[in-house]
Amino acid sequence: MAMGDAHFSSGRRSRRVVVTVVVFFFFWGLISLSCAARLPISKQKFQVQKHLNRLNKPALKTIQSPDGDIIDCVHISQQPAFDHPFLKDHKIQMRPSYHPEGLYDVFENKVSTENNDGTNAITQLWHVNGRCPEDTIPIRRTKEEEVLRASSVKRYGKKQHRSFPQPRSADPDLINQSGHQHAIAYVEGDKYYGAKATLNVWEPKIQQPNEFSLSQIWILGGSFGEDLNSIEAGWQVSPDLYGDNNTRLFTYWTSDAYQTTGCYNLLCSGFVQINNEIAMGASIFPTSAYGSSQYDISLLVWKDQKEGNWWMQFGNEYVLGYWPAFLFSYLADSASMIEWGGEVVNSASDGQHTTTQMGSGHFPEEGFGKASYFRNILIVDGSNNLRAPKDVGTFTEQSNCYDVQIGNNGDWGNYFYYGGPGRNPNCP
């Protein structure tokens, strides 16, 4: 073999070795990437399952709701509240020490399904297929896909930061960055020990799954900074949280402006439920229809000034449970502001305003049977009396998108209509 041929053959062998090495490392890289990709998914699945095990307590009875929900009847002593270290040896307070004056004793009286003013009261859809026995509470079972929709396991069941209305805020950047819009009535400047209202219930249309529409009462303490305390109760449509467009009863609490503390319903430890009839986060049915039957709910949140806990009542019959006083700093004493009204998320991903509706999706001026309302809005004062609020203000970021109008009359006391369609010719 000539010298040139030997050199050529050696070169080919060298290139084959190089190619082999490159191919080896290429496939080794793919394998490594594949493993790296699998590990976080596996870890996430483990975290999700661990979280589900914490939330979904052993059930003594299970009820399948017509809307697809599963309601677990969990022994009252096994509910998620008692995962909190401060509630480890907690003795459940089975009834409040005091109930606000001006209402009959809810433990001795029952109400009919029709209100005196012709509007209709509401029940929950799962009641069609059964009820939970005594000494249990109904808990809506959390599904794996619901947790997976959250940005993280840790953020599941929590609102975004800065999702509270700020009546005094004149900073449009803060409003736009938060993406949350409101139409509310509010009072401030005094000490408040609770609030009550009756509000009609709708099924607003949601444009995108990551948006929601709700109507609620806010019990607020502290500043609108990082230490805000808030207790909230109302109804909401939230596809991201629940996976559907059903209207649902909900509660929320936070002691640090939605950063790390608190959650919706019973999705973290905190709220202690005593009632076996009403499930937090479950569908409420029926809902109001435009120009037709109106259905509403009454909500009351008040402070037991002897024990210090904040209680919640649904309708005139169901005292649901309480938020222990130790959860809060400012609200450990009293609230400094009360708000009633609606909230939506405007994600505005395409540069246009969302078409997500607030309330009925119609403006306040359309009135009864067409617009959403809060009626008989009341506050609880330091003497534990329910009374009409003074100097009620209103607030909305964009009145051409969602608006609010207040009024007063003999039957409805202090009331307001609110809501809107979102995007329209005057709200592009």
Which residue is catalytic, options 146, 203, 211, 343? 343
Q: Nearest to residue 201, comparing CAs of 118, 286, 280?
A: 286
Q: What residues form DSSP beta bridges with 61?
A: 73
Do residues 302 and 331 make contact, with C-beta atoms less than 8 angstroms apart?
no
Q: Which residues have CB under 8 Å from 275's CB, separation 6+?
A: 137, 318, 319, 320, 321
Active site residue 365: no
Under a CB-based contact definition with an 8 Å cutoff, are residues 217 and 234 in contact? yes
Task: Using alpha carbons, select from 333, 235, 214 the residue that is nearest to residue 278.
Answer: 235
232 in catalytic set: yes
- Of residues 146, 203, 211, 232, which has the active-site annotation? 232
Q: Which residue has the tokens 């506050």?
A: 379
Give 162-169's long-range contacts (Cβ < 8 A, gap of 24+). 162/257, 162/258, 163/258, 163/343, 164/218, 164/220, 164/224, 164/228, 164/230, 164/257, 164/258, 165/218, 165/339, 165/341, 165/343, 165/395, 166/224, 166/395, 167/339, 167/393, 167/395, 168/224, 169/224
Q: Which residues contact 288 (CB under 8 A, 6 or more apart)?
A: 200, 201, 202, 294, 295, 296, 360
What sign for the dihedral angle of Cα 380, 215, 419, 175? Answer: positive
Structure tokens at 349: 């991903």
- Buried b / exposed e over 267-304, threshold 16 CB at 10 Å, is bbbbbbbbbbbbbbbbbbbebbeeeeebbbbbbbbbbb
For residue 217 the two structure tokens come to 């009462």
Catalytic residue IDs: 232, 343
